[in-house]
Structure 1
Amino acid sequence: MANKLEVGVIGLGKFGMGMAEALVELGHSVVGVDKLESKVSAAREIMPQVFQADGTDRTALQQLGFDQFDYVVVSSGHSMEASILITLNLKELEVPHVWVKAMSEDHEKILHKLGADFVVFPERFVARQLAHRIGVPGLVQYLPLGGGMTLQELVVKEWDGKSLRDLDLTNKYGLQVVAVKGHDDTEYSFVPGADKILSEGDLLVTIGAEDSLSEIEP
């Protein structure tokens, strides 16, 4: 795996716990913080280091070593004020990477102005995911990369029996196939050759312009 990271998670609701659990599964060191004892107790089943503390208290964060972490994820429930104060504290503590869950577009704008390194608005992200899966046949996963570019996972149907050379996806649609997983395989094969023959049910990972998605039918 990549280098083991030390990550702090402030706020152990559904989003924060989901992040913490996934990071632990990936082998990283995670320290969780929440004001509520019930959430702290539940989190102890997931991670060995979890504390009941107020994330808006900069001294408490410093005592728990949050200023030494590689990343800190902020998911402070429904309190925009708390989220903003926590983010400000973390930036003043010079945490290298502060990732924050936003609750509204105005909240998102404020977090960016405070210097949050990454802001996610889960409801909007999920809505775009679902819209693309409805509107693009064969689309399994969709991840915006910025600048109008996306990473997509597509399942093969109409392209069954054709090679990547036959499809000429780069010239026709501006899509670059970076990995293929056969429908019977457990792992991806990266940077497939142009003569790779596709079969129905194969998964393709592509990078390309978001606009091209509406033109393809894999």
Structure 2
Amino acid sequence: MDKLEVGVIGLGKFGYFLAQRLMELGHDVVGLDSSPDFVRRAQDNLTRVFQGDGTDRTVLEQLGFQHFSHVVVSVGSAMESSILICLHLKEIGVQSVWVKAVSWEHEKVLTKIGADEVFFPERYGAQQLALRMTHPGLIDYLPFGMGVLIQRLTVDKWDGKTLRELDLTNRFRLQVVAVRHQDVPTFEFLPRADTRLSRGDELVVFVQEDMLKNIEP
């Protein structure tokens, strides 16, 4: 992946942790926040950090936010501020504006004014927690996939069968993306159709949530 230069407006908990992770992934991150405490906390961990008012279009232009490929807006519960910042960013030509929403209404407004991505961390976190409680072995839930799960399964009844013989995609709308055989420390990704399974092998699969109840691996 090409190195990105990302702007993060709002360096509270979510914005700060996101910016840190982007830096760990090798990208440049420029942070902006009106709080001197948040700026001090971030200044040694990000590429550049500025104290200023993100709702001021002039500030955004002077700091060069129009040149960033992505800008993330995470200003807590300040709905009006995030809406105004998003509007300014789109007007000055930012290619991709990602904005944190705090309510359904907030999400609707942000979408209407042109936010490229609207994320709702609390909703996503709640979905993940509920699914982990009710789906043992869940690795992840794909919100864009209409109920698609990344699930870990342990082989029992499929012992001795190859993936081709099991025909899992046609039978269960299930795609095996990795296999870890017993006594092997690592997963084999994108396994061949002639891979033979044994009892106790672990599978990582994509599967429709509504099909999971029909699967007895």
TM over 0.5: yes
Distance in 2 between the 1:111 and 1:92 partners?
14
Count the aligned residue pairs.
213
Deviation of the 1:82 alpha carbon: 0.4
Normalised TM-score (structure 1): 0.87
Q: Once the two structures are superposed, what CA deviation does each residue of 1:43-77 show, in whole Å capped at 9, x if it has no partner?
A: 12321301101110111111111000000000001
Change (3 A) 1:33 1:170: same
Which residue is 1:26 aligned to?
Answer: 25
The percentage of counterpart residues that share the same residue type is 53
When the two chains are superposed, the root-mean-square deviation of aligned CA atoms in Å is 2.2
Query: How is 1:1-218 mapped onto 2 (pairs within 5 angstroms)?
Result: 2-146=1-145, 148=146, 150-156=148-154, 158=156, 161=159, 163-180=162-179, 184-185=185-186, 189-196=188-195, 197=197, 200=200, 202-206=202-206, 208-216=207-215
Distance in 1 between the 2:48 and 2:212 partners?
43
Provide structure 2 residue ranges, at least 5 long, that are not aligned to the other structure: none
Tell me, what secondary structure is at the counterpart of 2:139?
Answer: strand
Larger of the two Rg values belongs to structure: 2
Change (3 A) 1:62 1:155: farther
Tell me, what secondary structure is at the counterpart of 1:195?
Answer: coil
Distance in 1 between the 2:61 and 2:188 partners?
44
Tell me, what secondary structure is at the counterpart of 1:94?
Answer: coil
Distance in 1 between the 2:116 and 2:157 partners?
40
Q: Is the 8 A contact 1:87 1:116 kept in 2?
A: yes
Specify the code of the residue in structure 2 equivalent to 1:156: T
Distance in 2 between the 1:167 and 1:131 partners?
30
Provide structure 1 residue ranges, at least 5 long, that are not aligned to the other structure: none
Deviation of the 1:150 alpha carbon: 2.5
Distance in 2 between the 1:116 and 1:21 partners?
23
Distance in 1 between the 2:201 and 2:13 partners?
33
Change (3 A) 1:41 1:213: farther
Change (3 A) 1:150 1:37: same
